[in-house]
Structure 1
Amino acid sequence: MPHPTAEKVSMATTALKWLKRSVIALGMIVVLYLLAALAGSLLPVNQDWQNPDDGIELFIETNGLHSGIIMPIWNDVHDWTPLVRPEHLADPSFYGSHILVGWGHEGVYRNTRQWTDLRADDAISAIVGSDDVLVHVYHLKYPQAYPYYRRPLKVSEAQYRKIAKAIEARFALDDQYRSQPSPGYGKDDLFYRANGHYNAFYTCNNWTGDVLQQAGIRTGRWTPFQGGVMRWFPESTE
């Protein structure tokens, strides 16, 4: 067999060096991102906020990957029925007293209910950035707080109006100003066409934190992961 030439050996060595440097650089980027996420989740905004004694009860919920906000479908402050209709569901009997609302990347939302479901093409699209985003709505009936994954909070009427306004702006409407639903995971949830741009620096959990920040509620400064949102809400508001 012919022996490799010195030129080929040199090219292979150079390629290996560049591969090693690329892996190290990528690893450093990941580490820096995780450290920034940790710092962002620990540094609060609206630090002086407190649950009002007499306020509207909402919940913050996580499935371990995505976070969202639970709100009454209707009260004296805001009515969600113009956007979230019973007839949007295949079985309107699943229409709830409350809705759990989140926003995120379409591919990740539709295909990734938990971390083990994440596909490489969805992950790359989410990291690089995409305008293909959805609002996800679960219907719930008289939800109660549960340890870890569903935390209560109370907000004033003014704060709830800000939360509702920020969420409404994410629904993409058709020419007749109607929301645009499509099937979800099951009988009690739906996806809606949405506005916004998703990337590694503005994730579904950043969105949750951002909505709360805009309403003056204490949360982490930058919350790309669900833990950065959930840590700010105790298991009970009592």
Structure 2
Amino acid sequence: MKTFLRRLLAAVLFVVVAMAVGTFIPRPLFAPIRAAEPAAQRRILVLSNPIHTDIAIPLAEDTRAAFAFLGRSGIPVADPRAEWLVLGWGGRAFYLETPTWADLKPLPVLRALTIDSSVMHVDVAGGIDESHPAVMPLDLEAAEFQRLLAFIQTSFTRQAGEVAVVPEAGYGDNDRFFEANGYFNAVVGCNTWAAAALRAAGLRTGLWNPLPQTLTLSLKLFN
């Protein structure tokens, strides 16, 4: 029993140290040079809950056109009432089968802790309160914004040029799940996808951000 407890304590300590290192060491190590062009900046939102991070893209003429392929799959990107396109990546079993904590089941948790295929979840939103503690606004230069869009678009699996909708999967009337590239596990999960998307745009995150709290803290520290 003592040996088990020592190993358990060592494992917990290792995870804590790894998350601390992953939060306070920036990635990339050196800050990229960003031009000061306020007029050309585009605002995005990082939306967090206790375990997951989404990225919200403003819906305007150019972004509605860039994501028109989602409209063909049932996402109302052209609806003038839709102001934000909200996107997240995650493990298939946990994402599809756990819309609320009350729906938590052992098998999806097991798949999340081991390895699972991935899906993209896409929804639209009207106005979002940017002062809410779960919302982090970030301003990107025009080129950074385009790189973010490209990263998100390449996260979708495509079949014959079209994204693949997961049949009969969604939390409401306007959202859909789509097949995605990559595999999910507890080490490389939804929050590390969001971090990678933001780094692709030119922002700095922590070295490893498995939790929303570590991701948002690193964004505050390094940008």
Give the equivalent residue in structure 2 for 1:178. Answer: 162
- Alignment of 1:120 with 2:106, yes or no, is yes
2:216 equivalent to 1:230: yes
- 1:111/1:22 Cα in 2 relative to 1: closer, same or farther (>3 Å)? farther
Q: Cα offset for 1:30?
A: 3.4
Q: Residue 27 and residue 122 in structure 1: after superposition, are their counterparts in 2 closer, same or farther (change >3 A)?
A: farther
Q: Give the aligned partner of residue 36 of structure 1.
A: 18
TM-score, normalising length from structure 2? Answer: 0.81
Q: For residue 149 of structure 2, what is the aligned residue in structure 1?
A: 164
When residues 104 and 40 of structure 1 are mapped into structure 2, their CA distance, relative to the original with a 3 A threshold, is same
The question of whether the paired residues in 1 share the 8 Å contact of 2:156 and 2:163 is answered with yes
Q: Which amino acid counterpart does residue 108 of structure 2 have in structure 1?
A: D
Report which stretch shifted further, 115-124 or 208-217.
115-124
In the TM superposition, residue 232 of structure 1 has moved relative to its aligned partner by 4.1
| Aligned AA (1:163) | L
Counting only pairs closer than 5 Å after superposition, residues 8-47 of structure 1 correspond to structure 2 as 21-22=3-4, 24-46=6-28
Match of 2:196 in 1: 210
Cα deviation for residue 150 of structure 1 reads 1.0
Q: What letter matches 2:20 in structure 1?
A: L
Q: 1:87 to 1:211 in 2, by over 3 A?
A: closer
Structure number with higher strand proportion? 2
Task: Write the letter of the residue equivalent to 1:180.
Answer: A
Judge conservation of contact 2:75–2:124 (CA < 8 Å) in 1: no
Aligned to 1:104: 90
1:73, 1:96 within 8 Å by CA — same for their partners in 2?
Answer: yes
Please report the TM-score for the alignment, with normalisation by the length of structure 1.
0.77
Q: Tell me how large the CA RMSD over aligned residues is.
A: 2.9
* Aligned residues of 2:75 and 2:122 also touching (Cα < 8 A): no
The CA distance in 2 between the partners of 1:97 and 1:70, in whole Å, is 10
Q: Distance in 1 between matches of 2:216 and 2:19?
A: 14
Q: CA deviation at 1:210?
A: 1.1
CA, structure 1 residues 52+24, in 2 after alignment: closer, same or farther (shift >3 Å)?
farther
Question: Quick check: 2:144–2:202 contact (8 Å CA) kept in 1?
Answer: yes
CA-CA distance at 1:152 after TM superposition: 0.6
Larger Rg: 1
Where structure 2 has 5 or more consecutive residues not aligned to the other structure, the ranges are: none
2: CA distance between counterparts of 1:31 and 1:119? Answer: 27
CA–CA separation in structure 2 for the residues paired with 1:168 and 1:81: 8
Do residues 143 (structure 1) and 141 (structure 2) align? no
Kept in 2, the 8 Å contact 1:73–1:81? The answer is: no
Calculate percent identity across the aligned residue pairs: 22
CA distance in 1 between partners of 2:73 and 2:64 (Å): 20
5+ residue gaps, structure 1: 1-16
Distance 1:26-1:52 versus aligned 2 partners, 3 A rule: farther
| Number of residue pairs the alignment of both structures matches | 214
Aligned equivalent of 1:59, options 3, 27, 45: 45
